[in-house]
Amino acid sequence: MRKPAAVYHEMTAPQSQYDPGFAAFGGGSADSVLHPVVIVGIGVVVVLTFLLPRKHVIVPLLLGILLTPSGQNLNLGVHFYVYRILVLVGWARLCMSKPKSGKFFTGGFITLDKVFLTWAVYRFLAVNLQFLQIGATMFQIAQLLDCVGGYFLFRSLIRNDTDVQRVVTVFTLVAVVSAAVMLQELHTGRNMMGLLGGIRLISATRNGRIRAQGVFQHSILAGSFGAIVFPLSLWLWKRGSAKLAAVVGAISSTIMVFACASSTPVAGWLGTFVAVCLWPLRKRLRLIRRVTVVTLLGLAVVMKAPIWYLLARIDFAGGSSGWERAFLIDTFTHHIGDWWLIGSRASATWGWDMWDQCNQFVMEGENGGLVPFICFVAMIVICFKAAGNARKLAGRNRRLKWLFWLLGTVMFAQVLVFMGVDYFDQSKFVWYAILAIFPAATMAAQGSAAPEETVEPLPSPGSSDPGEAFAESFCPS
């Protein structure tokens, strides 16, 4: 007999006049939803994008993408969400200048890029083959623009360790704003960002606790962002050049994790501590991996239920749906014959609440089949391997070794988060940025990055980059 799900209470009081009817798990709008404040914000981001030097363009773009509720959109027959508009603006800016190294991407078109492109294109084709409808094709074209456009935009803009620090600092700023909004949400039960539209105004509650979500579409997504920013803040502290931002980021991200009242972000946050504590055992990681595999195989033998039902015993927030997540994985594995080729559009009929793909790995398989699933796992493995190899090449430089270890910690926390949520709002651009960070941060250690990408010189008076001299006056490196 199915275990009863946690009791959810969604308050249905009137929302903002700009609210297009977005529910907790997404939705759509037949009209444009652009608050005047958002329009002004887009204008500021666009101006800065074209005025700032190339290396600083990532700052306004990320702030605009992450701080705007993802429901804000311009409907021209096709939804141009704000993040989609800003991705196009970013590419327009890139076409106006070339990187100093001459290479559009650091290290060229690397294995990670090839795997990502395979993942994106196969998933695009798979969903189209599932539905064979023009509406599905248009939606997938937009999704392809988001993922391919967003990822390769970040790959071109995040080129070295300095750019990585710039991105992490932006993340900490977003965490500060989000934490402030979520604290206000806990106090009043109303999300001030809901006044803009495209996101709920009245906070969701569960078992009497407010589930703050800030600028994100769901509380778990908000907390998951905090869980990722926390290890990034540790990386920023260890780097040594922005310790104040690191401290503020660590505090703000922790507030986000616990204000969302969800177990998944707490698991990712705790995973950071586990990974950091494993630092003394860094030379025995292969042994640790083997022991972990043997332990899981042993549990699979002695447990009456599959090992993923261990998730049912995890509850850090009270009333968590760990059992539902375990059941989702169980159903996913039992129906592999239905989804392995091109995914399945019938997953919602496999059991109660199975429409909720609250697991990124499950979502990849059900939406696109085994190829996108394998590619998604391969991207994670490539990033772990890059961080590990860079750490080994750091020699006796303990500080560099720590930086690459913390980079691996970020991915470890991300994997834990993916076990309990799938990214469906602006959070997906956080994932694309994380992927782009790994080659930028590790190429130098592997001797693959061009020397001029390590330290960018000040612009010359005759620079072809528009507005570079103007921007350098208030945006130092």
What DSSP string runs through 439-469? HHHHTTTTT-S-HHHHSPPPPPTT-SSTTHH
Measured on CA atoms in the order 367, 369, 375, 380, is the torsion positive or negative? positive
Amino acid sitting at position 102? G
| Six token digits for residue 94 | 């890139």
CB within 8 A of 167, min separation 6: which ones? 58, 62, 158, 433, 437
Integer Cα distance of 387 and 392 in angstroms: 9
Instruction: Find the Cα–Cα–Cα–Cα dihedral 462, 468, 474, 477, rounded to 10°.
Output: -90
| CA 114 centroid distance within chain | 20
pLDDT, position 293: 95
Q: What 3-state class would DSSP assign to 205? A: strand
Integer Cα distance of 112 and 80 in angstroms: 28
Question: Nearest-CA neighbor of 321 among 381, 261, 363?
Answer: 261
The answer to whether the CB of 389 falls within 8 A of the CB of 354 is no
Integer Cα distance of 249 and 232 in angstroms: 9
The answer to whether the CB of 329 falls within 8 A of the CB of 359 is yes
The pair phi, psi for residue 101, each rounded to 5°, is -75, -15
Question: Nearest-CA neighbor of 169 among 108, 252, 289, 275?
Answer: 252
The answer to whether the CB of 149 falls within 8 A of the CB of 87 is yes
pLDDT, position 100: 74
Integer Cα distance of 444 and 427 in angstroms: 28
pLDDT, position 234: 97
pLDDT, position 327: 94
The pair phi, psi for residue 248, each rounded to 5°, is -60, -40
Strands 73-75 and 209-211: unpaired
| Six token digits for residue 228 | 């990722």
| Six token digits for residue 156 | 């071109």
Integer Cα distance of 319 and 307 in angstroms: 21
| Six token digits for residue 172 | 């900490």
DSSP labels, 77-103: SSEEEHHHHHHHHHHHHHTT---TTS-
| Six token digits for residue 384 | 């772990």
| CA 240 centroid distance within chain | 25
Residue 457 backbone zone (phi > 0: left; psi -120 to 50: alpha; other: beta): beta
Question: Nearest-CA neighbor of 118 among 457, 307, 370?
Answer: 370
CB within 8 A of 318, min separation 6: which ones? 207, 209, 261
Task: Supply the DSSP symbol for 4.
Answer: P
Strands 73-75 and 204-206: unpaired
Predicted TM-score (pTM) of this structure: 0.88
pLDDT, position 31: 76
Instruction: For residue 81, list its beta bridge partners.
Output: 73
pLDDT, position 30: 66
The answer to whether the CB of 127 falls within 8 A of the CB of 84 is no
| CA 5 centroid distance within chain | 27
- pLDDT mean by block of 10 residues, the chain; 477 residues: 39 38 42 91 97 96 96 86 96 87 86 98 96 91 96 96 96 98 96 92 91 96 98 96 94 97 96 96 93 95 94 86 92 96 93 89 96 98 96 90 96 97 96 97 64 36 38 36
Integer Cα distance of 231 and 246 in angstroms: 10
Integer Cα distance of 96 and 465 in angstroms: 7
Q: What 3-state class would DSSP assign to 8? A: strand
Q: How far from 145 is each of 142, 151, 264, 346, CA to CA, in Å?
A: 5, 10, 29, 26
